[in-house]
Amino acid sequence: MQFFSTVLLLLSVYLGLVSAGPVAERRSSFTLQNGKDAQALNAKFAKLSADTPCTSGDVACVGGAFSQCVSGHFVTTKCAASLICVALPLVNSKGTSVTCDTQSDAAARIARTGASGGLKGRDLEARASFTLANGQEAQRLNNQFKSLHANSPCQSGQNACINGGFAQCVAGRFILTPCNTGLTCFALPLVNSPGTSLVCDTKADAQARFKASGAGGIFGRDLEVSE
């Protein structure tokens, strides 16, 4: 009986491996195309604005926010802090999805499909003319923030990152708001337009955003150097 049980066990394992083979082949046939389709959508979304004509029901990313077309106009919903709206490749079937994600995770998902060129399928040199400048300006701000403290003089409405938290100047004094656990306040380069933003983010994602801009590290140094 033990002999027959062993044979049956080996046969079931073999049949399981055989049945799994075609699934893996079917999956791999659309994986790369999903990545390329997601890149094409992200490149298309980068050209959209809130005033772009659309068809009711369309879903897109506009200015980094999740957007749905209602009565011919995009209605946007901002992603949570440190997230951006992106098109991502599906894993188990053909197609893409539009969702909020960190830039580093989105880039990694597209890279795993075998599609090269990042979120939009383009090299750094082919990106917008303001990409590198945004990274360098954000680096300048992060270095400037290092010298600030809660009692530093400021002008009403001025924002900064102080001791890892978000700070806003009210009546000549900084009011600090700590970031959530695991997050730190950074100046980050915008992706789709000139400029920077101050957000609470993980250090890893912040570094990935600077690397994507071509500017190097958070403070203008190589990523291998401790920040």
110 with 137, same domain?
Answer: no
Q: Is residue 224 part of a domain?
A: no
For residue 49, the model assigns a pLDDT of 86
Do residue 80 and residue 160 come from a single domain? no
Does residue 27 lie within any of the structural domains? yes
Looking at the chain, the whole-number percentage of residues with pLDDT higher than 90 is 56
Mean pLDDT, to the nearest integer, of 17-32?
Answer: 55
CA-wise closest residue to 113 among 46, 29, 44, 43: 29
Q: How far apart are CA 210 and CA 223, in angstroms?
A: 9
* Percentage, residues of the chain above pLDDT 70: 81
With beta carbons less than 8 A apart as the criterion, state whether 200 and 184 touch. yes
Let me know if residue 220 belongs to a domain.
Answer: no
Is the whole-model pTM more than 0.75? no
Checking if the pLDDT of 13 tops 50, the result is: no
CA-nearest of 116, 41, 123 to 86 is 41
Residues 152 and 104 in one domain: no
What distances in angstroms separate CA 52 from CA 46, 74, 88, 130, 193, one per listed residue?
A: 12, 8, 22, 22, 16
| pLDDT greater at residue 67 or residue 26 | 67
Residue-wise pLDDT tens digits, 115-157: 888 888 864 444 567 888 999 999 999 999 999 999 999 999 8
Query: Per the domain annotation, does 111 fall within a domain?
Result: yes
Q: What is the pLDDT of residue 22?
A: 43
Instruction: Give the model's pLDDT for residue 17.
Output: 41
Write out the H or E segment, with its range, that includes residue 211: helix 203-213
Give CA angle at 185 (161, 217), nearest 5°: 100
Instruction: Verify that 171 and 190 share a domain, yes or no.
Output: yes
pLDDT for the residue 29? 82
In a domain, 103, yes or no: yes
Closest CA relative to residue 100, chosen from 119, 87, 90: 87
**Residue 191 lies inside a defined structural domain of this protein:** yes
Q: What pLDDT is recorded for position 227?
A: 41
Is residue 77 included in any domain, yes or no?
A: yes
- Higher-pLDDT residue of 129, 11: 129
For the chain, what is the domain count?
Answer: 2
Residue 28 confidence (pLDDT): 65
Q: What is the tens place of the pLDDT at every residue in 158-186?
A: 999 999 999 999 999 999 999 999 999 99
Q: Residue 14 belongs to what domain range? A: 2-122
In this predicted structure, the answer to whether residue 198 has a pLDDT above a threshold of 90 is yes
154 shares its domain with 209: yes
Instruction: Please tell me whether residues 81 and 167 are part of one structural domain.
Output: no
Is the confidence at residue 75, as pLDDT, over 50? yes
Measured in degrees and rounded to the nearest 5, phi and psi for residue 159 equal: -115, 150
Helix (H, G, I), strand (E, B) or coil at 164: coil
